[in-house]
Structure 1
């Protein structure tokens, strides 16, 4: 149903899509939609959460000797996305792009990023050799999550709206730069294991 909501919002627009439309396309009652979602825009959160969960899984596999961009490139080869996962990533980028002008959609988008940030704190804490509740680990998680959000919005707009070809290398370079800039160089690159 979340995938259906993403598709309908992209094809028709948020204003032109109702909860009834989402329910009908999903073969569910409208009442069922409202039982599980606080508003029609929140129907996209499960697809966005899949993308966030994939990133956290990738981050948990991040070896100390590689930068995040290097790890992402290698991990994409070792753990390629299925066609369904690629379609979900495209849907998530579309929602990221649309969220710039749709406040209610933005709320759902940011709520998922908040959950991703919380899940990223222990990954960063381990990487920096800090306790999970350390302020630096929490600040770095917030900065990295914000950097990813900005890159996703930029790449999404360029690739999906402007139809510009954005290579994997270019996207990874943007991620690398954004993370290093956002954390003042503290995170993104390889670390020395003590």
Structure 2
């Protein structure tokens, strides 16, 4: 019923225009009563975006199951769910994009949906970086960057009429985000500094080199790669953040 109502609504929006189509028109086309419409959609706007609620639920479920060492990779994977939702039905997605650009109310509604996706990503990162310096700020910045990169690539694909490989375009855009922010320890690589924190010192692992107290130490090892152009304050800040995150 939900799909039938959404299909009827979208057909009418394309035929008559969004503003000229009423809920009564939609239920008449679908052959149901008004109460059935509002059981599934609070408003006409919701009928234009019937798939976002399930995508948000899938995104939340994916992130709930990701507690590995790469939180930035997790939110990039979560963002790809949105791209795949659009790419699964290119014709509908392109038509919806065109309709959204024509109707100010739909653009506003779409922005509210984007904020919900961004809030879901940021909430996950805040939990992962709760003990890190500026963890909340970093979470908001990374989430915004992921959404911006994803949407830039996705909208370029939609403006092209759905021509080309949407997944490759989004992967490229998200790769730029990971180049700046991604690292195994969840500490951003910025200003030419990348820091990782292995779980155990290599020399203390079975078969590692060295004997005595150094080989038996449980202290973690910080591995850093820094550009010659990286300012010293950034190097020190990155090391401190990695130690705190560990």
TM-score range for the pair, normalised by the shorter chain length: 0.5 to 0.7
Show the counterpart of 1:172. Answer: 171
Structure 1 residue ranges without an equivalent (≥5): none
Question: C-alpha displacement at 1:112, in angstroms?
Answer: 1.4
Measure, in 2, the Cα distance between the counterparts of 1:36 and 1:167: 30
Show the counterpart of 2:28. Answer: 24
Show the counterpart of 2:88. Answer: 86
Measure, in 1, the Cα distance between the counterparts of 2:106 and 2:144: 20
Measure, in 2, the Cα distance between the counterparts of 1:36 and 1:64: 39
Question: C-alpha displacement at 1:51, in angstroms?
Answer: 2.8
Task: Give secondary structure in 2 for the equivalent of 1:134.
Answer: helix
Q: Quickly say closer, same or farther: Cα 1:57–1:145, change in 2 above 3 A.
A: farther
Contact 2:13–2:21 at 8 Å: present in 1 too? no
State TM-score, norm by structure 1: 0.63
- Give deviations 1:70-110, integer Å, cap 9, x for gaps: x74xx98xxxx89xx934x8645643453233211112211
Measure, in 2, the Cα distance between the counterparts of 1:157 and 1:111: 21
Q: Quickly say closer, same or farther: Cα 1:47–1:154, change in 2 above 3 A.
A: same
User: What does residue range 100-139 of structure 1 map to in structure 2 within 5 Å?
Assistant: 100-128=101-129, 130=131, 134-139=136-141
Measure, in 1, the Cα distance between the counterparts of 2:69 and 2:116: 24
Q: Quickly say closer, same or farther: Cα 1:24–1:190, change in 2 above 3 A.
A: farther
Q: Quickly say closer, same or farther: Cα 1:67–1:125, change in 2 above 3 A.
A: closer
Q: Quickly say closer, same or farther: Cα 1:64–1:157, change in 2 above 3 A.
A: farther
Q: Which has the higher helix share?
A: 1
RMSD, matched Cα = 4.1
Show the counterpart of 2:150. Answer: 148
Is the radius of gyration larger for structure 1 or structure 2? 2
Total equivalences in the alignment:
176
Show the counterpart of 1:47. Answer: 51
Contact 1:3–1:47 at 8 Å: present in 2 too? no
Measure, in 1, the Cα distance between the counterparts of 2:38 and 2:166: 40
State TM-score, norm by structure 2: 0.53
Structure 2 residue ranges without an equivalent (≥5): 186-196, 198-245
Show the counterpart of 2:189. Answer: none
